[in-house]
Chain A
Amino acid sequence: MKPIAARKRLILTPYAFLAPALLVTAAVILFPVVQTAWMSLFDYVLFRPRSIPFVGAGNFVRAFGDPVFWLSLWNSAIWIGAVVALQFALGLATALLLNQSFWWRGVARALVVVPWALPSVIIGLMWTWMYDFNLGVINDVLLRIGLIGEPIAWLARSDTTLPAVILALVWQGFPFFAVVILAGLQTVPAELLEAAEIDGATPFQRLRTVTLPCIMDVIATALLLRTIWVANSLDVILVMTGGGPGYATHTLPLYAFLKAYSSMEFGYGAALALILTALLLFVVFAYVRRAAGDLDK
């Protein structure tokens, strides 16, 4: 039985370890988050700083009656689903390959992070240029190899724009999964894999029964974090299409952004952002609940 003082110290220890993180975060973020949340209860238009009527839930009611809100929500759902799934699939495959041993492994690993290393504005501009109807390299290559007969206006047609932007995002983000999963793969005990191999399991069976269960926690966390990030991302879409054509690439954060910075309706924009946050909270709760068993182990 530990002495009382030592036990008290042990109880306080985790809080002591957490204190720096809490302090830094609270100091920088708490105030802006609270302020923005507060703004959502007002009809706050940035260029009318003297007239800010309190509307309570008015902004939220307005959102539910706004067809563009529902369209943005739908686009967001497709956006998140497609981008995260594809990034994950490609990232997992890449990580598994990069975990093997071959002589140029170091170089391969370094080259794979290049898409992730570029700023969003460069990515947006380069991909917009590659998709260009007239001077784009994608049209040119497809024409030359005969896959299409005439150039396609990728970013001007409502049926091709969202997939085109999704491809750019998948390209940008799959290195994240590759790197994170690769690190997770290092914790898979080698002797378990060897044992399975000796038992005659094929590589695929080894993957399914040994590797994946070991890194499930890492994968789940990576998926959760990535989902939150993708849900909120708007840099690349903003540069590539600005939300167009029409409302074809309007996602919820983009719509909130345009409302806040183009129409200057900060109150409404804040309300839209809060709705997105609330929806993401559901996802987080679901994860935390399911992993509750693991978290408490």
Chain B
Amino acid sequence: MIDRRSRLRRVLEIELPLILIIAFALAPYAWMVLTSIKPDADISTRPLQYLPSTVTLEHYGTLLNRTTFATNLLNSLVVALGAVAVGLGVSVPAAYAFSRFRFRGRRLLMTSFLVINMFPIVLLIIPLFVLMRALGLLDTFIGVIAGHSTFAIPFAIWMLTSYMNAIPRELDEASTLDGATLLQTIRLILVPLVMPGIVTTAIYIFVTSWNEYLFAMMLSGQNVRTVTVALQLFIGEFTVQWGLLTAGGTLVAIPVTILFLIVQKRLVGGLTAGAVK
């Protein structure tokens, strides 16, 4: 799109508001980062210390050397990627079915997927625990991934369906007329066009799994401890270890941000331009 606005107008209309929004998004995070590099003495004092009196990396040192935090980050990564793999693997075909076919029970099935998510997870946690124990999946990666992906799937299906609906059906038909099989159509025509949607859904599943606390706490033990559970360990009965907690919190946001930085390149438009023609 040709942007005919002058440079100044662009800065004022786009970049300035965006800077404000980003400032809003980052302010609490920045406060957390600042706290993580302050020595303990600076943390709970009055008047407030904005900048650290001395910058110290001791909290990060303790975090990475004397706790299992690094391993926990890795565990979280494995679980989240696993959930994405399972979630997408299952949701993409399902969304295709809902978007491209009209069959009996379609609306009912779509709605019933959603019903599962309408139930507060917290109440399901003990029956789920009993189930996982019976299956021998406690404290295993499979158990946590199964839990996470199951809760991400209904949302993922609905989102993917709506993204796929945005791709005109005529493209499918044109491709079939050209002699392509169903799978070829999906692979060569549909998937590339709905890639922004798939990327977004993947990010959604990843973030949901990365942040998830309840399942991870109940279904995992020392072997598969994720980073959210590890952070909770810094909140004790009598003390809150602010230094370690903020250091951990700072680190926790980084993988997701980097991941999104990489995949956001796929969020490009204009792919459907002239496609039907």
Contacts and interface: CB of A to CB of B under 8 A. Distances in A.
A and B touch in the complex (CB under 8 A): yes
Contacts of A28: 128, 131, 146-147, 150
B123 A183 contact: no
Nearest to A95: B267
Interface string B233-247: 001000010000100
Interface string A277-292: 1001100110010001
B122 A261 contact: yes
A207 interface: no
A185 B200 CA distance: 12
A120 interface: yes
B113 A25 contact: yes
B46 A184 contact: no
B97 A18 contact: yes
Contacts of B114: 228, 284
Interface in B122-140: 122-124, 126-128, 131
A228 B14 CA distance: 32
Interface in B162-179: 162-163, 165-167
Contacts of B257: 110-111, 113-114, 117
Given A21-B153, A228-B118, A218 B162 contact: yes
A175 B24 CA distance: 12
Contacts of B94: 17-18, 20-21
B196 to A, nearest CB: 4
**Chain A interface residue count: which class?**
35 or more
A171 B272 contact: no
Contacts of B165: 217, 294
A168 to B, nearest CB: 9
Given A117-B207, A118-B211, A13 B101 contact: yes
A113 B264 CA distance: 11
B117 A228 contact: yes
Interface stretch (A53-61, A64-72, A124-132): A124-132
A27 to B, nearest CB: 8
Interface of A is mostly: helix
A190 B1 contact: yes
B213 A119 contact: yes
Contacts of A93: 17, 21
A182 interface: yes
Interface residues of B, number: 111
Contact of B235 (A15, A24, A125, A130): A125
B81 interface: no
User: Which of B3, B119, B123 has the most chain A CB atoms closer than 10 A to its own CB?
Assistant: B123
A295 B167 contact: no
Contacts of A221: 158-159, 161-162
A94 interface: yes
B260 A113 contact: yes
Interface in B24-51: 24-26, 28-29, 31-32, 44-48, 50
Interface of A: 11, 13-15, 17-18, 20-22, 24-25, 27-29, 31-33, 35-36, 90, 93-94, 97-102, 106-123, 125-127, 130, 134-135, 137, 140, 171, 174-176, 179-180, 182-191, 193-194, 197, 214-215, 217-218, 220-222, 224-225, 228-229, 231-232, 234-235, 253, 256-257, 260-261, 266, 269-270, 273, 276-277, 280-281, 284-285, 288, 292, 294-296
23 contacts: A15-B103, A17-B96, A20-B94, A25-B116, A25-B150, A94-B18, A98-B18, A109-B264, A109-B267, A111-B257, A115-B29, A117-B207, A117-B252, A121-B235, A176-B204, A186-B196, A186-B269, A189-B272, A221-B158, A235-B213, A261-B122, A295-B106, A296-B102
Closest 9 CB pairs of A and B: A117-B256, A32-B127, A110-B261, A186-B269, A14-B97, A17-B97, A17-B93, A14-B101, A21-B94
Given A114-B253, A117-B256, A232-B118, 18 more contacts: A18-B97, A24-B86, A24-B153, A32-B124, A32-B128, A32-B131, A108-B18, A119-B249, A121-B231, A125-B240, A179-B200, A184-B166, A187-B272, A220-B162, A229-B155, A257-B120, A269-B123, A280-B118
